[in-house]
């Protein structure tokens, strides 16, 4: 799944039963999160992150998420 140009934003466990978000460092064992590559804490589907923005997104965890609604 790795791309030599754009970093992955998540890691799937070797047994395929969990996903760890490389931004918030949280791990989900929910099979739907794993299957859809979703982070419930960041509220984002990892595949939706524009590849050239992935490194910035991982390194800037305090910035707003694309799905956040301003308060």
pLDDT digit string, tens, across residues 22-46: 999 999 999 999 999 999 999 999 9
For 33, 36, 39, 54, the CA distances from 5, given in Å and listed in that order, are 25, 22, 22, 10
**Binning pLDDT at 50, 70 and 90, where does residue 61 land?**
confident
**Selection from 39, 29, 33 nearest residue 66 by Cα:** 39
> What is the per-residue pLDDT for 18?
98
Is 67 within the bounds of a domain? no
For 28, 44, 51, the CA distances from 67, given in Å and listed in that order, are 19, 7, 17
Q: Domain range holding 33?
A: 10-58
pLDDT at 57 over 50: yes
Is 4 within the bounds of a domain? no
CA of residue 15 relative to chain centroid, distance: 18
More reliable by pLDDT, 71 or 36: 36
Is 32 within the bounds of a domain? yes
């Amino acid at each position: 799944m790795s791309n030599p140009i754009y970093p992955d934003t998540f890691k799937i466990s070797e047994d395929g039963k969990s996903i760890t978000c490389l931004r918030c460092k949280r791990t989900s064992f929910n099979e739907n999160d794993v299957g859809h590559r979703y982070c419930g804490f960041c509220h984002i589907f990892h595949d939706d992150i524009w590849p050239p923005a992935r490194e910035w997104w991982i390194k800037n965890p305090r910035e707003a998420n694309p799905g956040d609604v301003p308060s």
